A and B are shown apart, each in its own frame.
Chain A
Amino acid sequence: MIYAESPALEIVNLRKHYRRIEALRGVDFELGRGECLAFLGPNGAGKTTLIRALAGRTRPTEGTIKVFGHPIDSIGARQALGLVPQDLALYGDLTTRENLMAFGKFHGVPRRELKKRIDWALQWTGLTDRARDLVGGFSGGMKRRVNLACGVLHQPKIILLDEPTVGVDPQSRERIFTMLDQLSDEGASILLTTHHLDEAEQRSDRIVILDQGRVIADGTIDELVLSTVGHSRLVRVRVDRPLTAPVTVPGDGGQRRTVHVGEAGRDLIETRIDDVTVNLGPFLKAVRHGGYVVSDMEVQVPSLHHVFLHLTGNELRD
């Protein structure tokens, strides 16, 4: 039974300890029905542990996971989930069809429906003409597609994807996301972890950022930008010679105040401008007034990349 009001996934205060290491430190979030949620975080943030806990492969130390309102260990909850692991968990010495058949059976697809589902999967992945070929000889992109198909053959309502596009070329990534869009259109809820921030930004409805076992941000891209770096644009101007002193951009007597930008000795000026249509002109005028010639200029729109670095810092997380 599926409760009409309950979200697809509901995670409350999820904790996981590995001896002295605390991989998850009280994670809370929800995945709405039909929603595509991107789960981001630096290496070691706890993303894979979370996916493993959702897939029933690790027992949380504390907290609850509910699938459509039911505990994860209840009958039918596992059937509602489809896991697509980060590694290519396939049998390279079996053909595409044989792999699909094996995982279909393990997922409990009834024998009478199995052939139909395999035919669908072959068509969906664009591998109908390679159905009888051994998967071991496939390209990385093709293996990824088979990997994906094996996880969704039983038509799960929730699909957990752990970095589904790692190590594939842009064409294959595009193809994989087209496939995921199809599933999303059919009503599946998707939770994906990825390091491709542009992918998360473009393909997901909502973003959750995890760091050091905690959720540090949760919202749409606009909400995250607004709550972190704001909507100001980063403007980079390269001038013909190093500055002798910071450039003074005068205020207008109103909301815009007088500011000093750039550093003496550098030929690159960086500043944030809230409204480029109003404030970019006065800034460039001040540069020229200082006796410099603008040789290059770049205006950066705030993106998930900036949000991510703003929240998690620039330090390596190896």
Chain B
Amino acid sequence: MLFSAVKERQNTGIDHARFEQLMRSSNKQAYSLAYRLTGNATDAEDLVQESFLRAFRFFKKYDPSLPFSSWLYRIVTNTHIDLVRRKGRLKTTSLESNGHDGSPTWDLPDATAAADHNMTQGALEEPVQQALNAMTVEFRMAVLLADVEGLAYEEVAEIMGTSVGTVRSRIHRGRKQLRAHLVKNAPETYGGLGDEL
């Protein structure tokens, strides 16, 4: 077994055991992001498989001093864009947004507030995923990386290969796209949640 692993490494120049370990520790995280990006399990599996294959191909270029997840996220996002373009499904939806029925408040931002609203959110899981699917791909990525994965703008910029300013703009416009879609397609559920929050 050891001989075989050493021989494999000589053949490909890649530490297979190390790569496998990283794959096992990060595939669930990658799948969750892939699911939110693609909107269904089949495409999510395809995206993760293709992404890990690319990671394997370029594993020699991976800098171990940096988090593997960031490097993998970058591959997942690039692969997703490639696959979307290949399928000719790249969205160019309007950037307009509207709807102002939230209750007035000026509390400080509270990223942990969501934990108390899981029950209400269950009803919105599907509409939100549909709204994500309808978004422009770059906006969807920025919003998912920042909100669902909880990354800072700088990390999102690094993963998407763009500037922090562009990320800031994409996140803001992406959220507005998302809200416009929810207001239009799930007004009762979304409006109710807005009132509660």
Task: Specify whether A and B are partners.
Answer: no
Which residues of A are interface residues toward B (Cβ below 8 A)?
none
